Structure 1
Amino acid sequence: MISYILSQTQLPDVSVKNTIELLNEACTVPFISRYRKERTGNLDEVQIGEIVKYKEQFEALEKRKISILKALEEQEVLTDELKKKIEATQDLTTLEDLYLPFKKSRKTKAETARKNGLEPLAKIIMSQNASDVESIAYKYIKGVVTSVEDALEGARHIISEWVNERTDVRNNIRRQLERFAMISTKVVKSKKDSEEAQKFRDYFEWEESLGRIPSHRLLAILRAEKEGFIRSKISIDDEKALAKIEDRILRSNNACSKEIKLAIQDAYKRLLLPSLSNEALQNAKEKADAAAIYVFAKNLKQLLLGSPLGEKRVLAIDPGFRTGCKVVCLDAQGNLKHNETIYPHPPKNDAIGAMKKISSLSEAYQIEAIAIGNGTASRETEALIRKIGFKNDIQVFVVSEAGASIYSASKIAREEFPNYDVTVRGSVSIGRRLQDPLAELVKIDAKSIGVGQYQHDVDQSKLKNELDTVVESCVNAVGVNINTASVPLLSYVSGIGPKLAENIFNYRTEHGVFTSRNAIKKVPRLGDKAFEQGAAFLRIKDAKNPLDDSAVHPESYAIVEKMAKDLGKPITELIGNSALLQKIDLKQYCTDSVGLPTLQDIIKELEKPGLDIREQAKVFTFNQNIKTINDLQEGQLLPGIVNNITNFGAFVDVGIKESGLIHVSNLSDSFVSDVNEHVHLHQQVIVKVLEVDVARKRIQLKLHK
């Protein structure tokens, strides 16, 4: 395993070895990267993630080898040479090629020919020595083989199978597909004029190199084909491919070579090209999936680490016209205190009554900030709120509603608010997102948040694994207040998981808040391992020991106590005291298991214990004159918020229903290889309107520096 991982990465031998040991000890990636730096050689989460990925690949490969060896033993065809080849194989494709001749497949033409006794004839032809093939074939006429042509055709089917099973031939065609394959599409004529097909009209007649097609375009083509609007085809130069196979197999120019040529053509057309072009398309799809998942994961990380307002009392509004605006009041911890509906917009138009109601609720619940969902009627509601003369300074924020409806109808929301309908739950979610985006968004299936491209078309298992990894990384990077965290948030803490998260929540409900990290050990089924993995990521506010509200691991408390004792100060005087902390000679605290990386982390944490790595939320205002797409004009400069990032550009909310696109070519005057290097999710930007297509509801923008 170690040599396999080393061949795939550039990481040091000892780092890989020790990381695998830690993973086998049921340690999590966040724990290893943060608290086992000495053992890993200071590897970060990404590098440890690579080791995890290749460890899983190796284990899958080994599992498949065992399965194949068992099948070959049962067939009694496993030779020592074949066994050595299988055991030495380092990739799945080569492994499957070795197994191909022995696969028990459905009834084939070659198998039928063998049953008809034609394999000896096929061997004679393949020897390429016979000059009168027809006379030899005549001897094989019997039973269902009624003519010389029947015999030769059957022999050719067997030869076709041999050609198809040759690893060198398969690899040669693979290389050609890799370098020269083209993907082309044609519209299904009966669907061409349908309204649903129009979004795919760019691909009604399309051709492009399979090796160079961008991720989003391949996924769009595959979706269009899946929905029945187009048909796609993978092709290479057939004559060139056939010539290369013939060069490998033909050694003579006689009657045998004529039959072999026909068999090669049959093998190529019927067996090799369909199978290997599907494989090439699958490989291209995997690359496209990986690119799309990478974009989604990066966007999700930015979204989860979005700026929190913090523990402030919030009034949240889910805007609407006919059904009214749902209003909720939340305390600083996000608990629901009040809810009702106002009707400031058409058809009721009770703007004055709505303003009075918001004003009185703000006073009654000492509201510090207002969160307005960015869906239907958002702009109109924001304009109304800004007209209110509040007695106190109340900040007004427009908050993304993406996924709020998913949450409001979920099991989690029903359990949190069994006595309220989906509209109230949705409004609560909007308010809580302002207080702490991470704590709220972990309750929603990540792919429903809508910050990616073609998330429903990629490999769902790989997408889920990657997004779960991102959520886990973000939750543990920020840390979790164990006394206020929801079950979904707790479940992502290192070493905890859904079941222990429920146990923590139930214990807290029954016994009250945790007053120390040691008290966490009292939770049923939370053993030493779970405590080791999770304790440092769980924060306890106002604890007797100030280290319980920091990222210092309990296993290192003794080190901090010794530092304080050596300085002749209590621990409380060390915290936040940079001048005092800088006096500490870290080398004298190094041991066999604790080195400078861990000690430096401890000092950094003591300087700013429990520091939130996220920026503070900032108020943002759209151009109040832009209310619909019809108000946009070419050349306008507008404030906007980046609300999605894809491989082909960034989408920007300029305060109307339709988001505008900054294509990669309009992000910078120089070449853009990664959109994320120029903008990030929820970034406040100024954009220039380049083009407005009202009919197609498309807006082209340019990033204004």
Structure 2
Amino acid sequence: MLLIPYIAKYTQLPIKSIENTVALLNEDCTVPFISRYRKERTGNLDEVQIGDIVTYKAQFEALEKRKKAILKALEEQEVLTPELKKTIEATDDLVTLEDIYLPFKKSRKTKAETARKNGLEPLAKIIMAQNAEEIEYIASQYVGKEVPNEDDALEGARHIISEWINERLDIRNQIRNQLEKFAQITTKVIGTKKDDEKAQKYRDYFDWSESLSRCPSHRLLAILRAENEGFIRVKIEIDDDKAISKIEDRILKSNNSCSEQIKLAVQDAYKRLLLPSLSNETLKLAKEKADEAAISVFSKNLKQLLLGSPLGEKRILAIDPGFRTGCKVVCLSAQGDLEHNETIYPHAPQNDTSGAIKKISSLTDAYKIEAIAIGNGTASRETEQLIKRIQFKNPIEVFVVSEAGASIYSASKIARDEFPNYDVTVRGAVSIGRRLADPLAELVKIDAKSIGVGQYQHDVDQAKLKNSLDTVVESCVNFVGVNINTASTSLLSYVSGIGPKLAENIVAYRNENGPFPSRAAIKKVPRLGEKAFEQGAAFLRIKNAKNPLDDSAVHPESYAIVQQMTKDKGVAISDLIGNKKELQTIDLKAYTTDTIGLPTLEDIIQELEKPGLDLREKAKVFTFNQNIKTITDLREGQLLPGIVNNITNFGCFVDVGIKESGLIHISNLSDTFVKDVNEHVSLHQQVIVKVLEVDVPRKRIQLALHK
């Protein structure tokens, strides 16, 4: 099996595109760079398609590595035949590969192995031939010191036959097929845990049964979490009689005393070996699919969050609200630098409302504040109402900002390095303000799992989750682009070809030598070679550079083409940039070469029309219903403004301005069938919802999307 056909089999992409993409990956090119600047070589593949190639390339390499390990083990056992080697090398599926290797595995002492040592394998072969009539008499010839009687001899022979049945590929695949189509997942509560307070959130699964293939990913993960926490037992079941009958149909050739022994061996093989092993395998595969679904939802949500609307470079006053400990207030410059911090106490128990209002008014004047960011945690609504009572001299927009993960950031090494002389409360407030200015730049400093836009993130495969989330962050950072003269080490580390160490070197060089005047100057950074420059330069922006192309997505390798265009037009680059009418008159075919085709040239023209433009929408002010303060204020039928704060496969959660978020079940998103929740709502979207049901004791709110 070869790599390119293997990838083509699963992706259905053109062979040439796969070959060229694999070659670029082997040259240490990144996915964002390949998808954006090597379109001619890939056949214009997008990031998702290139990501699929990366996935199946890794899968193939893991398969080949396992094949080598198995072939080596078989050679050491001196059982590797040319036919077996050929079969293994042609296998393109890991499950099949392990089935082929199963008879040769050096396992712990088994019943079949004991029977072989007792000399019972010839008897097992006689039974499997199904020709003998008096098998009990034949069995008596195998009685000895280790085999006391005929029954023990027959039992030992059956253990060997059971192992043979278990190792047959056709039978294993037959049981797999039945499990795939007909498996039921059933749960039972553990009696001693039924009244446990912690178990109550799983009470729906105290006695549950449904088709495993139809069990939604979120439900399966919830069931498995309940099992892991020791509240329920989980079983995977199929029709045992039907499964055993199908095995017998494949093996039985006669109706004599041998066939009776084989029937007993079939039952033993099925119940002791096949079903436990393959039901665990089936559940594992179902868990992997559920993981993939959960990770996919998490990744989509994270992408929407990272690409959330930035307010931009504004002078911001940020407040981390609180009651007893007060509200932490910080004033930030337009570049996000901390200029002032203090604490106000407008709420109980101090209730210094007038003092807080005076202080906020004074600070907004002194630091020429243009916007106020309020964290959405404890005392958020009360603080927002306080701020809206203030008569500011100049118009100031007030925003409520998600605090998710802010406490993680404030206690992190990144935060300590940024603000070594301030405590966690000040750092948290700064993070809230910076999130308003630029969500992407601030959120990259936090472990994505701590941002709170996924479900069951601690239950899924952690390596796959990290890889997926890192890919999302990398994609978002490179999609937006990074101002190299203001970006943090965290943000720079996600730029194509840069990574953590070079990011540190860039910041250190910038601190020592001042802002980079041009992209070419980036090459002066220690250890930043030609490859890193090729991969990352076009994603790094230089504001107010001498060459305006340095603040665009045009790659430096294409500068000469733009310069030729301007020369042919008889104008300066600055006259061509933003001149859509003039740009549309350029004959792109005249600039094609062996390596640069129309896809790249069309991207260049599109970028020249709006160079350095931030493609994200600007942040908008949002106001909750001021009369709704707790869950007890909700009534069925109410229409309320809300913000989507999490999306799952079964619906979305909406913040209506109280502690508990409400759920819009997928069935309440539209009057028609909804296949994908993301087609109807997006993270942080402002919506109007209708209250359907309020369960105060369980703190559950059912909502519908109001059109």
Short-chain TM bin: over 0.9
Correspondences of 1:521-670 after superposition (within 5 Å): 521-670=523-672
Could you tell me which residue of structure 1 aligns to residue 205 of structure 2?
203
**What is the CA deviation profile of residues 258-312 of structure 1, one whole-angstrom value per residue up to 9, with x for unaligned ones?**
1111111111000000000000000110111111111000000000000000000
**What is the CA deviation profile of residues 325-372 of structure 1, one whole-angstrom value per residue up to 9, with x for unaligned ones?**
000111111111111110000000001000100111111111110000
- The one-letter code matched in structure 1 to 2:367 is Y
**What is the CA deviation profile of residues 180-226 of structure 1, one whole-angstrom value per residue up to 9, with x for unaligned ones?**
00000000111111110110000001000001100000000000000
**What is the CA deviation profile of residues 121-175 of structure 1, one whole-angstrom value per residue up to 9, with x for unaligned ones?**
1111111111111111111112221111111111111111000000000000000
Could you tell me which residue of structure 2 aligns to residue 64 of structure 1?
66
Q: Secondary structure at the match of 2:328?
A: strand
- The one-letter code matched in structure 2 to 1:58 is F
Could you tell me which residue of structure 1 aligns to residue 293 of structure 2?
291
Q: Secondary structure at the match of 1:211?
A: helix
Separation (CA, whole Å) in 2 of partners of 1:543 and 1:105 = 67
1:156 matched to 2:158: yes
**What is the CA deviation profile of residues 622-665 of structure 1, one whole-angstrom value per residue up to 9, with x for unaligned ones?**
11111111111111111000000011111000001010110111
Correspondences of 1:85-96 after superposition (within 5 Å): 85-96=87-98
**What is the CA deviation profile of residues 233-261 of structure 1, one whole-angstrom value per residue up to 9, with x for unaligned ones?**
00000000000000001111111111111
- The one-letter code matched in structure 2 to 1:345 is H
Structure 1 residue 12: Cα displacement = 1.1
- The one-letter code matched in structure 1 to 2:111 is K
Moved beyond 2 Å, runs of 4+: none
Could you tell me which residue of structure 2 aligns to residue 133 of structure 1?
135
Structure 1 residue 583: Cα displacement = 1.5
1:254 matched to 2:270: no
1:233 matched to 2:238: no
**What is the CA deviation profile of residues 405-442 of structure 1, one whole-angstrom value per residue up to 9, with x for unaligned ones?**
11111111111111111111110100000000000000
Separation (CA, whole Å) in 2 of partners of 1:495 and 1:154 = 62
Relative to structure 2, which stretch is displaced further, 182-191 or 505-514? 505-514
Q: Secondary structure at the match of 1:639?
A: strand
Separation (CA, whole Å) in 2 of partners of 1:192 and 1:510 = 64
1:380 matched to 2:390: no
Could you tell me which residue of structure 2 aligns to residue 696 of structure 1?
698
Correspondences of 1:390-539 after superposition (within 5 Å): 390-539=392-541
Separation (CA, whole Å) in 1 of partners of 2:392 and 2:594 = 61
Could you tell me which residue of structure 2 aligns to residue 277 of structure 1?
279
Could you tell me which residue of structure 1 aligns to residue 245 of structure 2?
243
Match of residue 268, structure 1, among 270, 283, 295: 270
Could you tell me which residue of structure 2 aligns to residue 189 of structure 1?
191
Structure 1 residue 98: Cα displacement = 0.2
Could you tell me which residue of structure 2 aligns to residue 15 of structure 1?
17
Q: TM-score, normalised by structure 1?
A: 1.00
- The one-letter code matched in structure 2 to 1:268 is Y
Separation (CA, whole Å) in 2 of partners of 1:264 and 1:418 = 70
- The one-letter code matched in structure 2 to 1:377 is A
Correspondences of 1:59-138 after superposition (within 5 Å): 59-138=61-140
Separation (CA, whole Å) in 2 of partners of 1:402 and 1:357 = 27
Q: Secondary structure at the match of 2:318?
A: strand
Separation (CA, whole Å) in 2 of partners of 1:12 and 1:612 = 33
Separation (CA, whole Å) in 1 of partners of 2:65 and 2:594 = 37
Q: Secondary structure at the match of 2:623?
A: coil
- The one-letter code matched in structure 2 to 1:149 is D
Separation (CA, whole Å) in 2 of partners of 1:7 and 1:628 = 55
- The one-letter code matched in structure 1 to 2:364 is S
Separation (CA, whole Å) in 2 of partners of 1:202 and 1:295 = 24
- The one-letter code matched in structure 1 to 2:474 is E
Separation (CA, whole Å) in 2 of partners of 1:257 and 1:428 = 78
Separation (CA, whole Å) in 2 of partners of 1:151 and 1:510 = 84
**What is the CA deviation profile of residues 529-561 of structure 1, one whole-angstrom value per residue up to 9, with x for unaligned ones?**
010000000001111111000000000000000
**What is the CA deviation profile of residues 73-107 of structure 1, one whole-angstrom value per residue up to 9, with x for unaligned ones?**
00000011111110110100000000000001011
Separation (CA, whole Å) in 2 of partners of 1:23 and 1:289 = 26
Q: TM-score, normalised by structure 2?
A: 0.99
- The one-letter code matched in structure 2 to 1:418 is P
Separation (CA, whole Å) in 2 of partners of 1:563 and 1:432 = 40
Separation (CA, whole Å) in 1 of partners of 2:641 and 2:555 = 44
Separation (CA, whole Å) in 2 of partners of 1:415 and 1:17 = 44
Could you tell me which residue of structure 1 aligns to residue 673 of structure 2?
671
Match of residue 35, structure 2, among 23, 33, 36: 33
- The one-letter code matched in structure 2 to 1:488 is S
- The one-letter code matched in structure 2 to 1:359 is S
Could you tell me which residue of structure 2 aligns to residue 171 of structure 1?
173
Could you tell me which residue of structure 2 aligns to residue 355 of structure 1?
357
Separation (CA, whole Å) in 2 of partners of 1:252 and 1:342 = 90
Separation (CA, whole Å) in 2 of partners of 1:413 and 1:223 = 33
Q: Secondary structure at the match of 2:214?
A: coil
Aligned residues: 705
Q: CA RMSD in A?
A: 0.6
